Structure 1
Amino acid sequence: MKHRVSAPHRIDRLTAADFPDTVKSLAELLVDAVDDGASMGFLAPFDHETAVTWWQTQTPVVADGTLAVWVCHDTDGITGTVSLAFSQKPNGRHRAELLKLIVHREARGQGIARALLATAEAAATAAGVTLLLLDTRTGSPAEWVYSAEGWTRYGIVPAYAADPDGSLEDCSFFYKHLTTPTGS
């Protein structure tokens, strides 16, 4: 699936065959986000090798389709990513979790986060998903993006996750109901 952002950016879903060749670039994005203070599940210091290892552990779920990963890239390389984790619980097949929406610091302000979000939402809808969930640090720029794009905050959990420096931060939890394709 390709989705134009603003020339020369484009968004592609990674296949199982593409994924291993993209891991180093995804690791660079993740390191940039953690270095910028984003609560992505990792603590500082966070190096490229550790990020590569983490992304490599995602290979089996990308291969079996339970994790879908998109990248936004331009002529210089990958500028952003987003993932969807599809629920494997029998009573949760209608939902997925939005994960790792990351835009490199140097590429922000170009609509990439919104384009990645729209791409993931459209793919979820096409897959029959009717409910998306996510969490993000309360007060972060990401929280504003989700609210502006129609996501509903349903709660805040105090001291839910540590920032890269180890300090505990509140986390906001969001959901978004999607419509299913006609005929589903």
Structure 2
Amino acid sequence: MSPAPITVQRLDGAQALAAVDALADVLIDCVEGGASVSFLLPLTRERATAFWRKVAESVGRGERVLLVARRRREEAGADGNADNSAGACGIVGTVQLLLDLPENQPHRADVAKMLVHRSARRQGVARQLMAAVDDVARAHERHVLVLDTVTGGDAERLYQRSGWQRAGDVPKFALMPDGAFCATTFYYKHLR
């Protein structure tokens, strides 16, 4: 049986606030899986939900765009009808587009916190999120995008396949969740 289809959705501030718990689940899973995404182990639920509340507030102020990937689970109930409740849609990935940049960079945006739950990896979720972030950037007239990722990590292949150009590496830029240093690679993309 193939995985359920993935849909990508842009959340507004209220929707982001309502999704804090599901987003925290994805963040915690990624950090526990070794992703260097600004947090050290152990990542408590309180820290994860506090982070997502701040993101939701920033989305509400128009400073960033929050995209989520949802896996649609169609489960037949006792009456044979599919379960279409909110609980039937699980968030399995997310990415942000940061728009609140200095006034001399109105053409640019930063891509941040590309997260995919380990259970949904290698199913095209990240690729769909990156395509959606390109579309959102174009809609906001941002044609230069920048991101950073762990040097040598799996995400580098995704970014390179998605047309991102490597700008360079910074040794010991950040820490892995276990506290070990890691190098970071910066990428940019010019949208056409």
- TM-fit CA distance, 1:122: 0.9
- The aligned residue for residue 18 of structure 1 is 15
**Corresponding position of 1:177:** 190
Aligned to 1:49: 46
Indicate yes or no: 2:166 matched with 1:153. Answer: yes
Q: Distance in 2 between matches of 1:41 and 1:109?
A: 23
Number of positions where the alignment pairs a residue of Structure 1 with one of Structure 2: 174
Per the alignment, residue 85 of structure 1 pairs with: 98
C-alpha root-mean-square deviation of aligned residues, in Å? 1.2
How far does residue 8 in structure 1 lie from its aligned partner after superposition?
2.5
> Partner of 2:62: helix, strand, or coil?
coil
Q: Report the equivalent of 2:120.
A: 107
* 1:143 to 2:140 alignment: no
Return 5+ residue gaps in structure 2 as ranges: 74-88
1:117 aligns with 2:130: yes
- TM-score of the superposed pair, with normalisation by structure 2: 0.87
CA shift, 1:60, in A, is: 2.4
Residues 32 and 105, structure 1, Cα contact 8 Å, conserved in 2: yes
Cα pair 2:95 2:129 within 8 Å, conserved: yes
Task: Name 1:182's counterpart in structure 2.
Answer: none
In the alignment, structure 1 residue 73 sits paired with structure 2 residue 70: yes
**Which of 19, 26, 30 in structure 1 is aligned with 2:27?**
30
Deviation, structure 1 residue 42: 0.5
- Post-superposition shift, 1:48? 1.6
Q: What is the aligned partner in structure 2 of residue 132 from structure 1? A: 145
Amino acid in structure 2 at the alignment position of 1:160: F
1:66 Cα deviation after fit: 1.1
SS in structure 2 of the partner of residue 51 of structure 1: helix
Question: What is the TM-score normalised by the length of structure 1?
Answer: 0.91
Runs of 4 or more consecutive aligned structure 1 residues displaced over 6 Å after TM superposition:
none
Q: Which stretch has the larger CA shift, 82-91 or 36-45?
A: 82-91
Do structure 1's residue 97 and structure 2's residue 110 form an aligned pair? yes
Q: How far, CA to CA, are the matches of 2:101 and 2:122 in structure 1?
A: 35
Q: Is the 8 A contact 2:11 2:66 kept in 1?
A: yes
Bigger Rg, structure 1 or 2: 2
Q: Is the 8 A contact 2:14 2:56 kept in 1?
A: no
Q: Which runs of 5+ in 1 are unaligned?
A: 1-5, 180-184
